[in-house]
Structure 1
Amino acid sequence: MAELDTSGGGKKGGKVRSKKASTRVDLTAMVDLAFLLITFFIMTTTLSKPKAMDVVVPAKDEKVDDQLPVAASRSMTLLLGSNDKVEWFIGEPGKSAPETVDYGKDGLRKVIIEKSKEVQASTGKNLVVLIKPSDKSNYKNVVDALDEMKITGMQQFAIVDITPAEIELLKRDGNY
């Protein structure tokens, strides 16, 4: 622990001086305690788990002919364009005018909830959402669209390739 050195210094003769006590503190116990605390906090800390959303993807050998037809009246298409904008329409491209919204609770989320209720009331079936990212959209846009699917509780949605006609819609409205 602590010890005092009370030796006279080894010189003989001369003036008699008072002995100076030099102290030496043993830090072994404090180091042991520090390592015990570090070990305790490492073992008891919960690390954050990565949050991932399960997305079902088709098998590589699955044929396109195996797809089930969906009525245009209950399919909503989301065209992910540039500048964090989303164009959406219900039905087929060109037959209904697409509208542009932002991501978030007052934009895309509100539209999905409203249209889902309308389709449920009119057809008795769930809305199917087709997410179509363009070359000008970024990864964050796709993740935001998938987050909105999770938040709104959409059961049926898919990420699909965008068609040339839909790219023309984006270009026409300045979102490409």
Structure 2
Amino acid sequence: MADIDTSGGGGHKKGGKKRGKKLSTRVDFTPMVDLGFLLITFFMLTTSMSKPSVMDINMPVKDEQLKDEDKTKIKASQAMTILLTGKDQIVYYFGIGEEVQNPLVTNFGANGIRKVLLEESRKRNPSLDSIKIFKQMANERRITEDEFKANYSRIRNNKNGLIVLIKADDKSKYKNLVDILDEMNITNNGRYAIVDMTPGDLKMINDNPYVKK
């Protein structure tokens, strides 16, 4: 709303010299306040709040609290052990125990541990490639979200799939543990565990000439 002030300048005395009237404009912004609240309300009702992205980790219970039949039996042929060192490096080997003679060294990244995990996971569980198909079907609304989650969980937790044992020494960073858990999710490995490092594993790291000291 705009008001025009038509009060002229100059005096009103009789016989005085007439002057031109000065016009002043005043804009009333009061209605804009209502419009502003309407816009805020509209965006609050139509915009979805961002949801935090988190990773669920099921922490194991202590061994003394488990019965023998409840303990998970791991085959050496299915196991892969990952050792996190203090220099952003990864020492890994296939199998269980300290009898491994040729541990390998790699790093974090697409051409490092991720490539190794993808190759070994697909070798033991070829159905991992079908996750992309189910995901596309879910995006196209050909299957429901619950159906996708059920198939996703079933494929990732295949009993014949790769089992990864993750161990971190005292010098490794918290970021390294988070990164390797991300790699588990990226490579669709659903069977992994975080366990304590043994003295044999530490010796394997310290004696390896390719590990940065």
Report the TM range for the smaller structure's normalisation: 0.7 to 0.9
1:87, CA displacement in angstroms?
0.8
Aligned length: 174
Match in the other structure for 1:147? 182
Q: Name stretches of at least 5 consecutive residues in structure 2 with no aligned partner.
A: 127-158
Give matches, 1:110-129, under 5 Å. Answer: 110-119=115-124, 125-129=160-164
- Report if the CA contact (8 A) 1:89-1:96 is conserved: no
Q: Which runs of 5+ in 1 are unaligned?
A: none
Distance 2:164 2:49 in 1: 35
Aligned to 1:132: 167
Shift of 1:99: 0.6
Counterpart-to-counterpart distance in 2, 1:150 and 1:110: 13
TM-score in terms of structure 1 length? 0.83
SS at match of 1:42: helix
Aligned to 2:114: 109
Question: Residue 139 of structure 1: CA displacement?
Answer: 2.0
- 2:85 is matched with 81
**Cα RMSD between the aligned structures?**
2.6
Q: Is the 8 A contact 1:79 1:133 kept in 2?
A: yes
Distance 1:113 1:7, change over 3 A: closer
| Distance across 1 between alignment mates of 2:112 and 2:66 | 33
Report the Cα distance in structure 1 between the residues aligned to 2:167 and 2:212, rounded to whole angstroms.
13
Alpha-carbon distance in structure 2 between the residues aligned to 1:139 and 1:12? 85
Contact 1:90 1:96 in 2 (8 A): no
User: Structure 1: how far apart are the matches of 2:202 and 2:101?
Assistant: 15
> In the alignment, what sits opposite 1:100?
105
Question: Helix, strand or coil: the match of 1:154?
Answer: coil
Which of residues 17, 22, 41 in structure 1 aligns to 2:43? Answer: 41
1:89 Cα deviation after fit: 0.6
Deviation at 1:131, TM superposition (A): 0.6
Query: How far off is 1:65 after superposition?
Result: 5.6
Letter in structure 1 aligned against 2:27? V
State the distance in 2 between where 1:79 and 1:57 align: 19
